[in-house]
Amino acid sequence: MDATPAPPDVTGTLARFVADSEWRSIPPGIRHEARRALLNWLGCALGGCRDEAVCTALDAMRDFAGPSQATLLGRGERIDAMNAALLNGIASNILDFDDTHLRTVIHPTVPVASALLALAEHRGASGADFLHALVLGIEVECRIGNAVSPAQFDEGWHVTSTCGVFGAAAACGRLLGLDAQRLAWALGLAATQASGITAVHGSMGKSFNMGHAARDGLAAALLAARGFTGGEHCIEAARGFARLFVRRPDLDAPLDRLGTAWELSQVAYKPYPCGIVAHPVIDACIELRAALLQATSNAAGNAAFDAGPVARIELKVHPLVITMMSNAQPATGLQAKLSTAHVAAVALLHGRVGVDAFTDDCVSDPGVTALRGRVALQADAGIAKEAVEATLQMADGTHHHRRVAVATGSLERPLDDRALEEKFRVLAQGVLPAPGAVDALAALAWSIDDAPDVGRLARMSSPTGE
């Protein structure tokens, strides 16, 4: 009887890849995508920096914080790097506006950039070294995600958290100059900390998952840098990360075309601050609203919409949409981010779904509440994950139909640089009041690989400026 073949050396190969990578080997398009990811993450962090979740976490941790090493983005306070990684991770996810690696539904930049910027500001690093480490961290995180997705999510694990810790460890290890051996230890130490459950979704715990992945990945790299060992094969081992989290991981996926096919090319950016699987629904409802207004000779697309004649909103969606976002009557703004019914109602009523759609006031608005109750979700495995078939059934018996094949913000219909910068500006403008501050920060993010000190990016993200 033949022996079971040995699994591929995922941990060691990824560690060598990160240690040996050269900036010149990163394609120009991937470098630019990293700048886009950075700008998007920075805007999300600024937009979420004063959220109740961030304030509560800061209050809880402040008495136990260490020396002032890194900036809390958008706030101006400084705290130790470990807690900065945690808190900036929470802030940059709390709006649910972060980027998405579509194959795995990982939000890759949050845990990696949150850890990396805290370390870079404290230790010092050039913008090019920072951006290089960001690319590598996201690559490792998403490739490990490819090995365990979608099964890991189906088992109830929060894949951005479980895989994000690897990305943070790899990126920080690269910035610290770790060799392949110590990077393998860092990945092992990340593996033993990997955690995060989806049962906390709809609460502050979802964003805590992101923050602790950033903090724990940074800790893994710092420990490995001092010679703290972490195992040699902790991703692929019989009792390692991949096999413990899912029954049949694809251990070939993390190494497939490594160094030639880049996972950042598969990352999309959200136009709406909620679960990405509901974005086709939002597009469809905005289009239906516009069509109804036009049919009633009301050319103003932002005019008040009378939902009274709408008897029913029928949405045929992929089963994953119902798995992830089936809360029919959310009670809070955080819960509403997981409610397809809520985003459909808001999109139809207002013609837009922004950050203000997920306030408690919007959730309890009588008009929104009433229309949510008329939304009917129907699972259809024949509908692609990125599609929807939406039908408005009117009180007079007429019907209006829209099919969206791919949503705005998808890889097929991406946000271009101008749209991404406008998103950044909307999120940042209320946080950075000084004249020209938003312009200067955007310009620095777009040219970050030319900056001699990436810490300036964090300092310029303070309301008081540098």
pLDDT at 304: 67
CA neighbor of 165 nearest in space, from 148, 149, 188: 188
pLDDT 10s digits, 153-175: 999 999 999 999 999 999 999 99
CA–CA distance, 357 with 366 (Å, rounded to integer): 14
Equal CATH topology for 10-269+432-460 and 276-404: no
pLDDT at 5: 76
pTM value?
0.95
**b/e code 63-75 from CB counts within 10 Å (16+ = b):** eebeeebbbbbbb
**b/e code 174-207 from CB counts within 10 Å (16+ = b):** bbbebebbbbbbbbbbbbebbebebeebbebbbb
pLDDT at 296: 75
Report the chain's mean pLDDT, rounded to a whole number. Answer: 95
Mean of pLDDT values over 419-435: 95
Q: How far is CA 414 from CA 100, 129, 168, 285, 307, in A?
A: 12, 27, 26, 19, 31
Residue percentage of the chain with pLDDT more than 90: 90
pLDDT 10s digits, 234-283: 999 999 999 999 999 999 999 999 999 999 999 999 999 999 999 999 99
Residue 224: partners with Cβ closer than 8 Å, 6 or more residues away: 169, 173, 178, 182, 183, 185, 186, 189, 230
- The topology (CATH level 3) of 10-269+432-460 is 2-methylcitrate dehydratase PrpD (1.10.4100)
Q: Is a pLDDT exceeding 70 seen at residue 428? A: yes
pLDDT 10s digits, 90-144: 999 999 999 999 999 999 999 999 999 999 999 999 999 999 999 999 999 999 9
Q: What is the band of 324 on the pLDDT scale with cuts at 50, 70, 90?
A: confident
Mean of pLDDT values over 79-86: 98
> Using an 8 Å Cβ cutoff, are 325 and 300 in contact?
no
CA–CA distance, 335 with 100 (Å, rounded to integer): 20
- The topology (CATH level 3) of 276-404 is 60s Ribosomal Protein L30; Chain: A; (3.30.1330)
pLDDT at 1: 42
> Using an 8 Å Cβ cutoff, are 62 and 85 in contact?
no
Q: How many CB atoms lie within 10 A of CB 157?
A: 22
Q: Is a pLDDT exceeding 70 seen at residue 411? A: yes
Q: Is a pLDDT exceeding 90 seen at residue 298? A: no
pLDDT 10s digits, 349-365: 999 999 999 999 999 99
Parse the chain into domains and list their residue ranges: 10-269+432-460, 276-404
In degrees, rounded to 5, the angle at the alpha carbon of residue 271 between the alpha carbons of residues 31 and 279 is 120
Q: Is a pLDDT exceeding 60 seen at residue 18? A: yes
Q: What is the band of 216 on the pLDDT scale with cuts at 50, 70, 90?
A: very high
- Dihedral sign for Cα 288, 340, 105, 423, please: positive
Q: Is a pLDDT exceeding 90 seen at residue 4? A: no
pLDDT at 145: 98
CA–CA distance, 74 with 313 (Å, rounded to integer): 39
Mean of pLDDT values over 301-313: 81
pLDDT at 305: 82
CA–CA distance, 214 with 165 (Å, rounded to integer): 6
